[in-house]
Amino acid sequence: MKKTKPPRTAATQVVIDRLDERLATIVIRGQTHTLPRSLLPAGTKEGDALRVSIARDDEATDKLKREIGTRLGRLRENDGDGDESL
């Protein structure tokens, strides 16, 4: 039997509950969250339903892992005998 991979993108509906000058209060699956209004599409109004998608960015993830590995390597080099606290 062939295993299926989980989807690379997750999508859900959000509802705009409240808007003020800088912040938006949204409802996702019954939970309320606040985010910068600047992240919303232009013209979004209270009561609008939006579809939000989140996708894994493999390229950015790999880059972050390399950067973290480099930083950890430098910390280990600078630690010498390991007696110093980071």
User: Cα–Cα distance between 19 and 59 in angstroms, integer?
Assistant: 34
User: Cα–Cα distance between 67 and 74 in angstroms, integer?
Assistant: 11
Residue 82 is predicted with a pLDDT of: 57
Kindly state the tokens that stand for 10.
Answer: 């997750």
Per-residue pLDDT tens digits for 6-50: 667 889 999 999 999 999 999 999 999 999 999 999 999 999 999
- Cross-strand pairs, 18: 25
Angle at 47 between CA 10 and CA 41, to 5 degrees: 55
Query: Looking at the predicted structure, is the pLDDT value of residue 77 above 90?
Result: no
Within a 13 Å sphere around the CA of 60, how many CA atoms are in the beta-carbon half?
3
Q: Are 20 and 63 in contact (CB under 8 A)?
A: no
Which domains, and CATH codes, for the chain?
11-79 (2.30.30)
Query: Looking at the predicted structure, is the pLDDT value of residue 4 above 80?
Result: no
- Specify the 3-state DSSP secondary structure of 44: coil
Per-residue pLDDT tens digits for 47-71: 999 999 999 999 999 999 999 999 9
